[in-house]
Every structure is written in C-alpha cells, then in structure tokens.
Structure 1
C-alpha cells in the first residue's frame, strides 16, 4: 500500500453535519438579536446631546414690569421620527436691561399657568396654585417654583436655551 491509499479522506457523518448546521443557524439567530440589543443599550450613551438657542422674540417689545408669553416650536428628529414640541415662556424685565424667563407649565401637574395682571401673579387653574412674577410658589400644591429658562439678548433678539 502506498501512503496515499492509507490516508482516506475523513468522512462527515450525517450527525456531525446536522450539529454544525444547527450551531451555525443558532449563532446567526443569536447575533441577529444581540447586535440590535447592544445598539439599543449603548447607542444613547454614544449620541452627543445638542443644546441650541431658539429665538423667541424681540426684547424692545417686552413691556417693563409685565410678563409676556412667547412661544416656540422645537422640531426633534430621532431616526425616522420627527416630533414637534411646543414650548412657551413668560419673559419679563423690571428695568428694560435684565430679562428673565419662566416656563408657563405648573410644576405640580403640568397645567398651563396664565398671568393675572391685576393681581400680578401666575395662576394655575388646575388646583388654584399661584406663583410670583419670578416663578416662586405663593399658594397651592406645587412642589417647587416655575422652571426658569436660560436666555440671552443679542441685537435686540431674545434667545432661550433648549435642547
């Protein structure tokens, strides 16, 4: 016998073939679930949060001592989904130089507050809560003052930071 005849090619048994096919398919299915799951968990940590300034109005049009409601729409994109969020802020100044902005959303249940000029308060109709001009709680169940927004004035334009 020659050396070529003594070394017959190894034959794959039906059992070994099926084990290989099942293990390969199991690996492919597992990877199909694992890769998106890892992306879902790790993805938000890798995304950079962008904070932007949004123009809401003109400073010279804000009367001294009277809060003025200014509204903005912020469009957010997440993958294929486009979501438009409406935000509103009361902007006021006491001296025509320094401006402040408070959210018009009550910190108790998220109802919209409104400015009552003759009482000089923000009033929430949901539970009769009232807030001072600077957003501090005067009466009612709100756990904290109205949220304040960071703003800046450039060339007589009011910008509020959002993101």
Structure 2
C-alpha cells in the first residue's frame, strides 16, 4: 500500500506541474490578450454612454411607443447580447419620458393598454398608470424611468447605470419600434 501511495503522490505532482506549466505558457504567449481583458473595461470608467433608439418624429403626441434594442455589453471577452425595451411618451414634443417595460427581477414585462390608459402585466395582473405608478397588483415599486436625451432629431437613452458604469461598454446591435 505504501508504494501505491507514493505513485499516486508522484502522479498528483506531475499533473500539478503540468497545469502550472500550461498556465505560465499561456500567460507568456498571450500577454496582449491578458492586458486587454484586464485593462480594457477600465478605460471607459466614468464615461457616460447613450445609445440612439430612434427618431423623435416616430413618436406621436400622447401615444406610448415601444422601442426595442439589441445591445452587446462588452466586459473583457464575455459579450452576451441583451434585449432592452422602453416605452417612450411625449406630451409636448420637446420633453420625452422613457419607461422600462420590465418591472421585476423576474423579467416580467408590461404592455400599454390604450383602452384603460395603463400599463398592464397579464402574469401577475399588475397595472400601472400613465406615469408608471402602481395602480394595483403585487409590485412594490413603480416602473423604472430611463434617462433620456434628445439631440439631432433623435432620442438617446443612458445605458450604463452608475452601478456598472466603470466596467461595461455597450454596442448597439440593432433597434426597432412597435407601431
């Protein structure tokens, strides 16, 4: 039994040495990739990033319009695509309000019901008024307002919130709106 333990120990040491050698070789062979992965996101620290979702001419007075975008957050090598959607409303054609159509951590989405003048979720039977405040249901908070900026006949939403502004850069993959 003593000889088997020695062989097992030697094999463990061999695997450990091989693993370390592979890590050193990979690190020495790709220092640029390691540097880009670790330093790249920090170059955008504190940078406000806004994405254009559409033209202001597509938004009619007192009409809720759903704009969708497919964005790709870039945090080093990992870059999964995300879908975001906001309802945009204007009452004076100069002041635009954008509200997220997702209102819980479970990704429940709301839709605008013109007949009841409210946002509604069929899953939990929650409803929200025109300003996004809770009318009825289980939701403990109103719909999130997205910061919006208008320029050059287009509107832009802020995509890097303060809690992740130092580590994420977003790339717009495509956008659309529901008529």
Per the normalisation by structure 1, the TM-score is 0.69
> How far did 1:108 drift?
6.7
Tell me the residue number matched to 2:86. Answer: 89
Of 123, 135, 141, which residue of structure 1 is paired with 2:138? 141
Root-mean-square deviation (CA, aligned residues, Å) is 2.8
Cα distance in 1, alignment partners of residues 79 and 104 from structure 2: 27
Q: Does 1:78 align with 2:47?
A: no
1:3-152 aligned within 5 A: 47=42, 48-49=44-45, 50-107=47-104, 109-152=106-149
> How far did 1:126 drift?
1.4
My pick for the range that moved more, 54-63 or 73-82, is 73-82
Cα deviation code 1:69-102 (max 9, x no counterpart): 0011211123322211110000001121211000
Of 140, 143, 154, which residue of structure 1 is paired with 2:151? 154
Cα distance in 1, alignment partners of residues 159 and 80 from structure 2: 15
In the alignment, is the contact (CA less than 8 A) between 1:92 and 1:100 conserved in 2? yes
Cα distance in 1, alignment partners of residues 123 and 106 from structure 2: 8
Size of the alignment, in residue pairs?
Answer: 129
Which of structures 1 and 2 has the bigger CA Rg? Answer: 1
Tell me the residue number matched to 2:175. Answer: none
Q: Structure 1 residues 108, 121: closer, same or farther in 2, change over 3 A?
A: farther
In the alignment, is the contact (CA less than 8 A) between 1:69 and 1:88 conserved in 2? yes
Structure with greater contact order relative to length (CA < 8 Å, sep ≥ 6): 2
> How far did 1:147 drift?
0.6
Q: Structure 1 residues 51, 74: closer, same or farther in 2, change over 3 A?
A: farther
Per the normalisation by structure 2, the TM-score is 0.63
